Amino acid sequence: MSLYEKLLAGEEKLSLVGLGYVGMPIAVAFAKKIKVVGYDFNAEKVALYHRGIDPTREVGDEAIKQTKVEFTADPEKLKECKFHVVAVPTPVNDDHTPDLTPVESATRTLGKYLTKGSIVVYESTVYPGVTEDICVPILEKESGLKCGVDFKVGYSPERINPGDKVHRLETITKIVSGMDEETLEEVANVYKLVALAGVHKAESIKVAEAAKVIENSQRDINIAFMNELSMIFHRMGIDTKSVLEAAGTKWNFLKFTPGLVGGHCIGVDPYYLTYKAESLGYHSQIILSGRRINDDMGKYIAECCVKNLIAQDIGVKGARVGILGFTFKENCPDTRNTKVIDIYNELKEYGIDPIVIDPQADSDEAKRLYGITFDSMDELHDMDAVLVAVAHEDFLSIKPEDVKKWFNPAHKTRVFLDIKGIFNKADYDTDEFAYWRL
């Protein structure tokens, strides 16, 4: 019997190493078909899963309560599994070089408990070559086994979009790859259990790694173009959203919008590609140019807020500014690599101490990563400026009469920044508001 057949028969188990926004939904999906061990070194996170709590909000508490995943923080349980999926973050360092520490650490742990006949599939976003050139030697060293003889490897990049209820694991085509044809078939068959939209068999692991890293690089470049257009059109006195709505009536116009580019994918993955290119003697032109534009948007937005305060004769130093939304994207609790922190920090440079309100965000994570404590909506009063940074569903029903109550009543004109353009511009195109959006 093949490993795939043994998994179906319940004779073997699949392990999921890394139970975050990507790994946990995959584990839950596989557990509907086969036996699954969900491993994470974070015992506190595992304890939440045991209590039926989904801290990521990706599948919901009820799905966690009902799942058959065997959640554990004990790496010994990995010995019981033959098919392993590694789904851990791959961030960048402060100098924008790849930080492979999480994937290397997970690989070392897995290697200690790897058994003969296993297949290890990586889902973490990496530059081409990491799986075979970096991860395989670690697996061999820790296990004492030989890749290609005692175990096989594959790569299947994650495409889950945190907070997205439409593009889910079940509805998107899954790229799969393996070190040889036999491995490719096994990996493809296993993923077909959960990738109901089908799989695409890449011709090599490096091709699959490259495909993933360019997907987000392409989005990053397109958003950078939109951000640059926004800066240009503001100087012309033209509303960018209106321009994009007009241009979007053409059949082949790509409908991207300006905004903050954070998170652990779009704002990170391009640096993996350019790092590898640099090591081969090629200095990126377009990709790094786009990265520079997007990385500077928080500073640009803060400067526009300050300029609007000055235009209304409102003192900048000590101004009361409210920021609504702190996560890296809407309807998601994840604050890792959020670019709203850039707005916050830049405003502080001007002597402003903003209050931050986010009903969706993981407050413990924000406190740990940024030292920020969130306020409640009740604190939103006597403001000199309010900036809606994230398009959470919680904010979509806000009306102009609600907004007016947030401001210092002494201000005849209220400085209101709608970064994502989620409100109707006509509602705020009055003398009562100095309305600004990207």
Give whole-number Cα distances, 60 to 31, 43, 359, 395, in Å: 15, 20, 17, 21
- Residues 224-247: tens digit of each pLDDT: 999 999 999 999 999 999 999 999
Helix (H, G, I), strand (E, B) or coil at 264: coil
Place of tokens 């596989």: 30
Please report, for the domain that includes residue 258, its CATH number: 3.40.50.720
The answer on 119 and 259 residing in a single domain is no
Residues 275 and 405 in one domain: yes
Res. 265 pLDDT band, cuts 50 70 90: confident
Last residue of a domain, one of 204, 231, 255: 204
Residue 194 lies in a domain: yes
Structure tokens at 43: 């015992």
Number of folded domains in the chain? 2
Residue 215 located in a structural domain: no
The alpha carbon torsion through 101, 102, 103, 109 (nearest 10 deg) reads 100
Closest to 192 in 3D by CA, of 8, 16, 38: 8
Tell me the residue type at 289. Answer: S
Position 167 pLDDT exceeds 60: no
> Of 147, 169, 204, which closes a domain?
204
Same-domain check for residues 106 and 227:
no
Predicted confidence at residue 165, as pLDDT, reads 61
Does residue 93 lie within any of the structural domains? yes
d(CA 86, CA 91): 15
Mean pLDDT of the chain, nearest integer: 93
* SS3 call for 238: coil
pLDDT score of 264 more than 90: no
Exposure letters 381-394 (e unless 16+ CB within 10 A, then b): eebbbbbbbbbbeb
Residue 185, domain member (yes or no): yes
Residue with tokens 């999921």: 16
**pTM of the predicted model, to two decimals?**
0.90
The pLDDT score that the predictor gives to residue 336 is: 86
Give percent above pLDDT 70 in the chain. Answer: 98
N- to C-terminal Cα separation, the chain:
58
* pLDDT at 159 exceeding the cut of 90: no
- At residue 124, the pLDDT reads 92
User: Is the CB of residue 386 less than 8 Å from the CB of residue 403?
Assistant: yes
In a domain, 363, yes or no: yes
**pLDDT value at residue 375:** 94
Q: How far is CA 101 from the centre of its chain?
A: 18
Q: What is the structure's pLDDT at 163?
A: 58
Domain stop point among 204, 233, 248? 204
Q: How confident is the model at residue 266 (pLDDT cuts 50, 70, 90)?
A: confident
Q: Using the predicted structure, report yes or no on whether residue 279 has a pLDDT greater than 70.
A: yes
Q: Are residues 194 and 239 in the same domain?
A: no
Within this chain, do residues 175 and 230 fall inside the same structural domain, yes or no?
A: no
Contact yes or no for 231/299 (Cβ under 8 A): no
pLDDT band at 76 (very low <50, low <70, confident <90, very high): very high
Cα–Cα distance for residue pair 68/49, rounded to 1 Å: 11
Distance separating alpha carbons of residues 327 and 183, to the nearest angstrom: 39
Q: Give the pLDDT mean for 171-197.
A: 94
Cα 380 off chain centre by: 28
Q: What is the pLDDT of residue 268?
A: 87
300 and 429 part of one domain: yes
Inside any domain, residue 210: no
Q: State the catalytic residues.
A: 265
Give the DSSP H or E segment for 366.
helix 363-370
Q: What is the pLDDT of residues 120-130, one digit of tens each?
A: 999 999 999 99
What is the sign of the dihedral through the CA atoms of 168, 174, 179 and 183?
A: positive
Confidence of residue 166 (pLDDT cuts 50, 70, 90): low
| Domain co-membership, 361 together with 431 | yes
Radius of gyration over every alpha carbon of the chain, rounded to an integer in angstroms: 24
Shared domain check, 227 and 187: no
Q: What is the pLDDT averaged over residues 135-139? A: 98
The whole domain housing 84 covers: 3-204
Q: What pLDDT was estimated at residue 128?
A: 95
Q: What is the mean pLDDT of residues 18-27?
A: 91
Residue type, 256: F
Distance CA 322, CA 149 (A): 60
CA pair distance 244, 242, nearest whole angstrom: 5
What tokens appear for 193 in the block?
């259990």
Based on the fold, state whether residues 165 and 268 are members of the same structural domain: no
Is residue 119 within 8 Å of residue 186, measured between CB atoms? yes
What confidence score (pLDDT) does residue 164 get?
A: 58
What is the bridge-based pairing of β-strands 174-178 and 151-155?
Answer: antiparallel
78 belongs to a structural domain: yes
Q: What is the pLDDT of residue 354?
A: 96
Identify whether the C-beta of residue 157 lies closer than 8 Å to the C-beta of residue 175. yes
> 424 is written with which tokens?
């109707």
- What are phi and psi for residue 163, nearest 5 degrees? 85, -10
Instruction: Say whether both 352 and 285 belong to one domain.
Output: yes
Residues 229, 195 share a domain? no
Confirm whether 284 is domain-assigned. Answer: yes
- Listed in order, strand segments (DSSP E) in 260-320 are none
* 338 in the same domain as 232: yes
